[in-house]
Structure 1
Amino acid sequence: MDIFGVWFFVLAFAYCNFSCSNLCEAQDHFNVMDYGATSDGHTDDSKAFLKAWAAACSSSAQYPKVIVPPAKTLLVNPIIFSGPCHAQNINFVILGTIMAPKSPSSWDLRDPSRWLVFKDVNGLNVFGFGTIDGRGRAWWDQSCKYHPQLGKCTKLAPTAMKFLSCNGSTVNNLKLINSAQTHISLKGCNKFHINNVVIQSPGNSPNTDGIHIHSSHNVVITNGKIGCGDDCISIGDYISNIRIANIECGPGHGIRATCPIFNFILVLEKTGVQISNVVYKEIYGTSSTNIAINLNCSRYVPCVGISMESIELTSAKIGKKVTANCSNAHGQETDVVPGSCLLH
């Protein structure tokens, strides 16, 4: 083969490799715009999301990614992203805004507790500096909590993002606003990390918990800013090994705050479910009620293994003092203000 033939072969081989590399890389990304999304903020883009998800979930790529591009606002009706997926890890990258339907009628004949649901997806990573807008105002205006006189007031409203049986998964760097009810909910999850999320809804919005955890284990929640109308973080039954750190809450009812909240450390357990091995550590803030620490546990199945360390809670009202109240709660305390109350 002459020198020209050699160079032709080398260049052709390099071109093929380059083209294949670009093609393979492109197949890792599944942009909802490529599957028919309009992003006009009025047209339902749910089908485009489901098509992009189906392609990513069945992809043989090592790290498939569903992409919601920046500078786009996409209207999405109630939807379920189901697994299991082919890849061990799948990414859902939100760079734009996902917006809920404005009217509760969009949930007619549908489960009113759900909007965006991820179900049976392991190794899921949801991230991207985008926004999830629940547009909950219409739901709040018909809430039974504030409008019991309405003939058809609403007790149950959609959770913005539900994760059902999603293990080894993460949520990072998202902003969630104005959910109709709870913003993020975990159920049946194991090894789940929520980090650096911002949650915002009005302080008087009904039942708008920031994060709710139920029947889940090994959950870590860190570096969040939560302002909502109910609990910043609520913890239900069948929970173990939960770590919460560096959470700012306000307005809201719990964990850590940059403004006054109610009952800074609160456990009200009269249902017969035992609470055990809970650590409260390095909590500083103010309480707008006289009782800053309130552990009110069951007489029949008391709280045990409670540890309090480096806690300083003061009154939000100048000149007022706060107290600690413990009922049927056993454990150890170190450097706790307003004082100890645990049974040793």
Structure 2
Amino acid sequence: MATSSVANILNYGAAGDGVTDDSLAFLKAWNATCNSVTDYSTLLVPSGHTFLVQPLTFNGPCKSPNLYFQVDGGIVAPQGPNEWKANENLMSFVEVDGLSLNGTATIDGRGKPWWDASCRDHPQLQGCFGRMPTMVMFLHCTRVRMQHLFLVNSPQAHILVWNSDSVEFHFLSINSPADSPNTDGIHIQASTNVSILQSVIKAGLHFNLFSLHNKSCDIIHSIGSLGKDGSVANVTNIKVHHVKFFGTSNGARIKTYQVGKGIVQHVEFRNLTFYDVQNPIIIDQHYCFDPKGCQDLPTAVHIDDVSYAGAVGTSASEVAMNLNCSKTVPCTNISFKEIQLKPSKSLKSVESSCNNAHGSTTGNVKPASCLHG
């Protein structure tokens, strides 16, 4: 017979009034959960309460093969930089295997004071922040499933997956204002077998509903940025299916620094819908921060075998399909199939633009394909 245990944080001293620091209770309850030898071990954040926490790190490995972190009560971050005890992520799971993070409650990062002190938006502000905390991070974790939670107002990225494997996200709702800086919905780095299913993400200027498989990069609004500072990027086997983009700055985007090396290969964009999107389909191998643009260099991250099939909708920019590839390391094996992009009401027409992009076109593609054979 399977055995189970439950560690209710109220039994470990949590007040649950949204004012008292309940961090210690969370750590005690996690210690009990992680060290339980039962088949199913649960840390319970009970409903009817709101729990204020400082940055928390939940370390593994744990003894139970099936860990549950059940968030039925709300969790809130401290009120801005002056209240955080350290500029660290709010909830970090490290070297944890077999974790299910579930619930129906909201985790609120209270990000506005951080955004108001962002170096990106306030470069002249003394003591501004270049790096701001993430709300939930998975580091060196395996077999993770996160579902049915609401994450709002993160200081920076809402979720970070880093050096992890077999991570699934289901039915998440992520929300932050359109003008919030760098509030990625889900940022994935150096990870494998990550899936994002049936989730609604309104993070900064990004709003997607999508299914995503097998990726190791930032994919909420793009694959990239890759190759920064001459680093080697190797990103392969990406599938982006059944995604809806509403008023985003970018749709299906791949962006790389021209100083980088490596390859982006075997990427499949399929059944995409765009609603007034600025750049529905875009590859940029000249990504940089110079407003005048950057020139071609002898190196670049090679982009190969990227397919776009079944894309429809409206473009808010005249160039609906923009492939700006490197002269020295061109894009290869790009394919367009059955694409119908029309201008938004504010535009009369849309077009495609290709620089050093080679591939093939199948079926009815509008605007007309510009790929070189």
The alignment's TM-score, normalised by the length of structure 1, stands at: 0.82
Return the match for 1:65 from 37, 42, 45.
Answer: 42
Look up the match of 2:326.
298
Aligned-pair distance for 1:305? 4.1
* Distance 1:87-1:226 versus aligned 2 partners, 3 A rule: same
* Root-mean-square deviation (Å): 2.6
Is 1:244 matched with 2:232?
no
Output the CA distance in 2 between the equivalents of 1:51 and 1:326. Answer: 57
Is 1:174 matched with 2:149?
yes
- Kept in 2, the 8 Å contact 1:176–1:198? The answer is yes
Aligned-pair distance for 1:307? 4.1
Structure showing greater Rg: 1
Unmatched 5+ stretches in structure 2: 208-219, 227-233, 252-271, 287-298
Give a deviation string over 1:94-131, Cα, whole Å, max 9, x none: 222111111212345x344x222112212222222221
Look up the match of 1:7.
none
Aligned-pair distance for 1:178? 0.9
Return the match for 2:223 from 218, 235, 238.
Answer: 235
Give the % identical residues: 41
Output the CA distance in 2 between the equivalents of 1:210 and 1:316. Answer: 26
Higher mean displacement: 306-315 or 56-65: 306-315
Return the match for 1:313 from 318, 327, 341.
Answer: 341
Output the CA distance in 2 between the equivalents of 1:149 and 1:69. Answer: 43
Output the CA distance in 1 between the equivalents of 2:360 and 2:104. Answer: 40
Look up the match of 1:98.
75
SS in 2 for 1:101: coil
User: Which has more helix, going by share of residues?
Assistant: 1
Output the CA distance in 2 between the equivalents of 1:253 and 1:194. Answer: 24
SS in 1 for 2:339: strand
Output the CA distance in 1 between the equivalents of 2:170 and 2:307. Answer: 20
Higher mean displacement: 199-208 or 247-256: 247-256
Look up the match of 1:4.
none
Output the CA distance in 2 between the equivalents of 1:153 and 1:313. Answer: 41
* Distance 1:224-1:135 versus aligned 2 partners, 3 A rule: same
Output the CA distance in 1 between the equivalents of 2:203 and 2:24. Answer: 31
Return the match for 1:288 from 316, 322, 340.
Answer: 316
Alignment of 1:12-161 (within 5 A): 24-25=3-4, 27=5, 29-107=6-84, 110-112=86-88, 114-161=89-136
Look up the match of 1:214.
189
Unmatched 5+ stretches in structure 1: 1-19
The alignment's TM-score, normalised by the length of structure 2, stands at: 0.76
Aligned-pair distance for 1:75? 0.9
* Distance 1:284-1:120 versus aligned 2 partners, 3 A rule: farther
Return the match for 1:260 from 258, 262, 276.
Answer: 276
In the comparison of the two structures, how many residue pairs are matched? 319
The amino acid of 2:348's aligned partner reads K
Output the CA distance in 2 between the equivalents of 1:306 and 1:90. Answer: 43
